[in-house]
Structure 1
Amino acid sequence: MGAGDFESRWLAPDVNAVWTRFLQVTHRLEHQIDRRLQERHGITHTQYEILVRLADAEDRSMRMSDLADSIVTAKSAVTYQVNKLSELGLVERFKCDKDNRGVWVKLTDPGLERLEQAAPCILSLVRELFLDAINCDQAAELDKLLGTWSDNLDEHDRHPIGDGPGEAGA
């Protein structure tokens, strides 16, 4: 792969193959984790992530908009997932005392219990499906690549590129 491959409007076949493989692997990994969590603990991976964020938050509570930002998803998607978790009694929603527009979500005791029951499943899956397949050097290289992508995304968050094809942005 040459640098010129990344400049053209269409991806070169070898670059496209890398991108496609990345998407397939990440989607398959997510699907495996999601399926196993649903079978064994009755929650999705996204719901698990919500429970984790709430467990780590002060008073096990977060404003809905902050929760959406923390799991990098749309507010409407978080609302849907929180509604499902609320139906299961794992979280509860409440209005903010200081701001009537603000909606908060709190992890309940049964929610914390479910999280604690599901955590070993997640850890096992991370090892089985992800870490056991690579050695320490590969893990270090992957960490370096993820850092590069993360930095690039941070830069694009600060200076978004244009929406049209081929626009380089300001």
Structure 2
Amino acid sequence: MDTATNGGAEQPRWLSDDEQRVWRAYRQATTLLEDHLDRQLQRDAGMPHIYYGLLVQLSQAPRRRMRMTELAKDAKITRSRLSHAVARLEKSGWVRREDCPSDKRGQNACLTDEGYEVLRRSAPGHVTAVRQALFDRLSPEQVAQLGEIMRLMAEGLQPAGPDADLPWLR
């Protein structure tokens, strides 16, 4: 198709065969890794991987609490998805919401002692699953390369500017 038949738009730079193989391998590996970690956490802790990540973020925050908007931003999820997740975590007794003292409209998510204990018990199994699925399969040089590649990807994909379509603002 030339530019005359597609409304003047330039042709896409199609992936080469090698790039296509890398892209498919990346997609398969990341899907399988996320599924592997999800199954491990469901089995061992009764929660999906995203909930575990939220508990980790809260455990590392001062006084084990974060503004809901900051938690959504750090987790790279929509406020709606975060609200649903926090509601489920509240139902389990692992998180509670508190009004934000500095902003009447804001809320904090707070990790409860029970939530901290669930995280403490589930962390060893989770780190073992991560290590077996990823790091034990790579040489130290490959780990360094993967870290650099992921940093570059994240840096290039980080939305910027006042009109950026950021998940945590939706």
TM-score range (shorter-chain normalised) is 0.7 to 0.9
Q: How many residues align?
A: 154
Counterpart residue identity of residue 131, structure 2 = R
Identical counterparts, % of pairs: 35
Mapped to 2, the partners of 1:8 and 1:105 lie a distance apart of: 44
Give the structure 2 partner of residue 43 of structure 1.
47
CA deviations over 1:22-71 (Å, ceiling 9, x no partner): 11111110111111111111111111111111111111111111001111
Give the structure 2 partner of residue 158 of structure 1.
160
The answer as to 2:66 corresponding to 1:69 is no
Give the structure 2 partner of residue 167 of structure 1.
none
CA deviations over 1:83-124 (Å, ceiling 9, x no partner): 110000000012222322111110000000000001101110
The answer as to 2:22 corresponding to 1:18 is yes
TM-score after normalising by structure 1? 0.83
Gaps of 5+ in 2: 1-10, 166-170
Matches within 5 A, 1:98-117: 98-117=102-121
Mapped to 1, the partners of 2:109 and 2:81 lie a distance apart of: 14
Q: Secondary structure at the match of 1:158?
A: coil
Matches within 5 A, 1:123-162: 123-154=127-158, 157-158=159-160
More RCO (CA 8 Å, sep 6+) = 2
Give the structure 2 partner of residue 3 of structure 1.
none
The answer as to 2:48 corresponding to 1:82 is no
Give the aligned CA root-mean-square deviation in angstroms. 2.1
